[in-house]
Structure 1
């Protein structure tokens, strides 16, 4: 007859010893744990050396793991950047193109503001101009010198009215339309302007040469007192131009005068002023200022 399977441990001394040893070990572990907890509560720095040692042991593994994580993030980041590079470059090109256009616009506005400020600086405080307008066009290769301005009879412009730029005299109105006017430039061969030297008042006449310059003819013929660099302004004689408007600067001398370049080139004058005729300024019916935009 076979022996039963559930034999009690009491039948084996070895089994009883093993059970006893297990109980002792468990109780000893519990007691050791309680002692360690009590020490840790009473003196928290008692096991600092153990923590430092553990940190030293796991530090290399942690550093290696951190490097792997950083490399993996950098790898996937580079892949994403490569995928987005095309769209990013296209957007940057658009931004650069827009910035260049804006830069050109800003430069153009700055130049226009400079010209407008210079133009406003030549306005007399005693009399307002009839119109402030653009110089639309001017002849550059012809025996006659004319210009077109963007103001006409509707803005108060009349024949004979002086036209001046930021630097000086441009000409006088020759023909008038409803919204435009034709200007006879000071460089035209048919335009004669009474002038005087700004420094001492020596009188002369300015005659256009149709080549962008004028000839200055002295009224009193004798020893030529002019010299290069002399500036001539309107004298007010004749009643069209008010005195003191810059006209020309001497370049070379002649026996009876000089050849001079005009100080207000129509090709460089974007905005001009149309002023009342000088001899009519005292007339209460003279036109008032009507700036043209």
Structure 2
């Protein structure tokens, strides 16, 4: 230990000065506060004038500091706002796309459900229903017009049976397999359906043209006038198609023979109903037995 060394470890003269200054400032602040308090009590007008004088001095400085802080924060805030808006816009865009896809699927399902309910309602009302089958395919680019069903002999489908959709008559079965059946559509040139006009019962024939349309021809009378929109339904003549099933509408007014469109559009069919013929088909003739 060195004699005469009065320095203490960890305590410097600079620190002593800081402590002294803090004491002086604290005492001065307390004294100033006491003077201001006494002044506000004894002479309120003088205190108010003094307070506003101080405010006049400090307000510009505070405004400058506040403006600078706002300016410095404007950049990061703008960047954050841009990033937030951009992210929110991307999220909303994704949600709109997903919602659009869901809406399209929901509309398609709703459309299929409506058609299936219509077909099931027809089946419930029809005592001659055989089977409801999906339309697997249909020819649209050929003069011969056929459709393929996913039901055949195992489901009771036989050649000659009529086929109808939710809107009207589709055609008739011409060939069958175990699990498939071929349908001759109304627009095929080999298709001929006896019909009658709904507004007056006029008999007519609907014959396929092979181009997606049908000819509507009067049967007996000459000079028969057809109106655009006239609806023709099956008449029951011939014993194949039950009466009252919608078949075709007239496209444009004319006489004797006009062009029509089938009520059931093959290119929009999803399901079809196979029915028994209006009058049962005759059983196949038995070959003579040799004696």
TM-score of the alignment, normalized to the shorter chain, above 0.5? yes
Q: Deviations over 1:202-256 (max 9, x none)?
A: 1222221111122223332434243333211112333333322221122357764
Q: How does 1:245-256 map to 2 (within 5 A)?
A: 245-251=245-251, 256=256
- Does the residue aligned with 2:251 lie in a helix, a strand or coil? strand
Shift of 1:187: 0.8
In 2, the alpha carbon distance for the partners of 1:93 and 1:278 equals 60
In 1, the alpha carbon distance for the partners of 2:279 and 2:91 equals 58
Shift of 1:276: 2.1
Q: Is the 8 A contact 2:227 2:254 kept in 1?
A: no
Q: Is the 8 A contact 2:213 2:260 kept in 1?
A: yes
Shift of 1:175: 2.8
From 98, 104, 109, give the equivalent of 1:107: 104
What are the ranges of 5 or more consecutive residues in structure 2 without an aligned counterpart? 1-28, 281-291
Q: Deviations over 1:111-130 (max 9, x none)?
A: 45235425534633523755
In 2, the alpha carbon distance for the partners of 1:31 and 1:260 equals 109
Q: How does 1:266-277 map to 2 (within 5 A)?
A: 266-267=266-267, 269-277=268-276
Shift of 1:195: 0.9
In 2, the alpha carbon distance for the partners of 1:77 and 1:54 equals 33
Name the residue aligned to 1:215: 215
Q: Is the 8 A contact 1:191 1:208 kept in 2?
A: yes
Q: Is the 8 A contact 1:137 1:147 kept in 2?
A: yes
**What TM-score does the superposition give when structure 2 sets the normalisation length?**
0.66
Q: How does 1:124-163 map to 2 (within 5 A)?
A: 124=122, 126-127=125-126, 130-153=130-153, 157-163=157-163
In 1, the alpha carbon distance for the partners of 2:193 and 2:236 equals 9
In 1, the alpha carbon distance for the partners of 2:31 and 2:69 equals 42
From 112, 117, 127, give the equivalent of 2:114: 117
Q: Deviations over 1:145-177 (max 9, x none)?
A: 101234445555444333333432221233334
What are the ranges of 5 or more consecutive residues in structure 1 without an aligned counterpart? 1-28, 282-293
Over 3 Å counting, the alpha-carbon distance change for 1:93 and 1:165 in structure 2 is farther
Name the residue aligned to 2:197: 197
In 2, the alpha carbon distance for the partners of 1:31 and 1:102 equals 71
Over 3 Å counting, the alpha-carbon distance change for 1:67 and 1:224 in structure 2 is same
Shift of 1:42: 8.9
Q: Which has the higher contact order (CA 8 A, sep 6+)?
A: 1
**What TM-score does the superposition give when structure 1 sets the normalisation length?**
0.66
Shift of 1:143: 2.6
Name the residue aligned to 2:23: none
| Runs of 4 or more above 6 Å deviation | 29-33, 41-46
Over 3 Å counting, the alpha-carbon distance change for 1:153 and 1:56 in structure 2 is farther
